[in-house]
Amino acid sequence: MITSQKATCSYAKVSKNCHPEELRCGSRQWSCASADQCVPDSWRCDGQRDCRDGSDEAACAPEKCGSSEFQCRSSACLHLSLVCDGKEDCADGSDEGGQCSASACGQVQCSHTCYRSPRGPICACEQGFELKSSGGSCEDVDECRRSGGRPCSQTCINTEGSYRCTCHPGYLLEPDGHTCKATGTEPILLVAIQFNLLLYGLRSLKEDILAATDKNLVIFSIDYDLLDQKVFWTELGAESIKWISMDAKKKGTVVKGIKSDCMVVDWIGRNLYWTDGTAGQILAIQLTAVWRGKPEYTIVLGDNLNQPRSLALDPLNG
């Protein structure tokens, strides 16, 4: 089970004469009654105590009960089946007595179910239906158009009393019935942790070591070439860029005798770029030339660069 805990930031500056300075909350914050703590607006009346003095949960509007629930006078909600059952379930006992004993349900027309209550008979609907604004008849809830969160990750089809989710071509509905996931081979996350290059299967959560560096040198930069199914990396302090095939059957060196901080692959233009922070240069090498055995590189940018550290490409736009 995952539990979540909210983190609060409180600011209380104390000045020399020991009177706390007045705390000013931001525009989207709520000031606790104690005036020494601010919480996000959305934490007000969310059912969880966030102010140390609990003032964010004080004087909140009473809870709105569901369609098959009864509101106690104390504002708590109770399932209708517990109302008029001869046992006090509301803290104040307001679910018993009144018109409970009367056989009132015989006089009203409810399309699904009728419950007795101290305030008289109440019509209720089965799951997936709600009472029409007037009368005792029930109508289907359109879950697909309901405000407050879409129930399906792609297409939602409303049905009488329920709904179902479908997926676009190329996607498969997960067993939860709501989420669509891309079909085909399993998506892989490529990760470098210290001196290991890892492949994480995002569905199977399987972890494979694709490569490990020779002298326990930390892997500094990684990228991959989708077309050739190759992974490239640089190691901290090593003067080369290395590669390995995704099936780990082949590996080699792209270029030697260089210094590289960050390295990226242009999988469309078939070039590999890197930065040399010390020399203040961005360099490139043609991958097709590398595979032909001619690893000759060029300086792409070398003027007015002061310690370039990072590099990003936009291959689609060249």
Q: Which residues bind Ca ion (CB under 5 A)?
A: 43, 46, 48, 50, 56, 82, 85, 87, 89, 95, 140, 158, 163
Pick between residue 34 and residue 245 the one whose CB is nearest to Ca ion. 34
Least Å from the CB of residue 83 to Ca ion:
6
Residues 298, 283 contacting (CB under 8 angstroms): yes
Closest to Ca ion by CB, 41 or 207? 41
For the bound state, the minimum distance from the C-beta of residue 24 to Ca ion, rounded and expressed in Å, comes to 20
Cα–Cα distance measured from residue 248 to residue 179, given in angstroms and rounded to the nearest whole number: 33
CB of 70 or CB of 274, closer to Ca ion? 70
Nearer to Ca ion, 6 or 206 (CB): 6
Q: Which residues pair with 299 in a beta bridge?
A: 283
End-to-end C-alpha distance for the chain, whole angstroms: 46
SS3 category, 317:
helix
CA distances from 14 to 17, 24, 44, 179 (A): 8, 14, 26, 51
Q: Name the minimum Å distance from CB 250 to Ca ion.
A: 55
For the CB of residue 245, give the shortest distance to Ca ion in the complex, in Å: 51
Please state, in angstroms and rounded to a whole number, the distance separating the CA atoms of residues 99 and 117.
6
CB nearer to Ca ion: pick between 87 and 309? 87
Nearest approach, Cβ of residue 160 and Ca ion (Å): 6
Token pair recorded at residue 243? 């590669």
**Phi-psi domain of 248 (left: phi exceeds 0; alpha: psi -120 through 50; beta: other):** left
> Whose Cβ is closer to Ca ion: residue 82's or residue 198's?
82
CB of 150 to Ca ion, least distance (A): 14
Q: Is the dihedral of CA 273, 279, 281, 284 positive or negative?
A: negative
Q: Tell me the pairing of strands 240-245 and 251-256.
A: antiparallel
CB of 101 within 8 A of CB of 75?
no
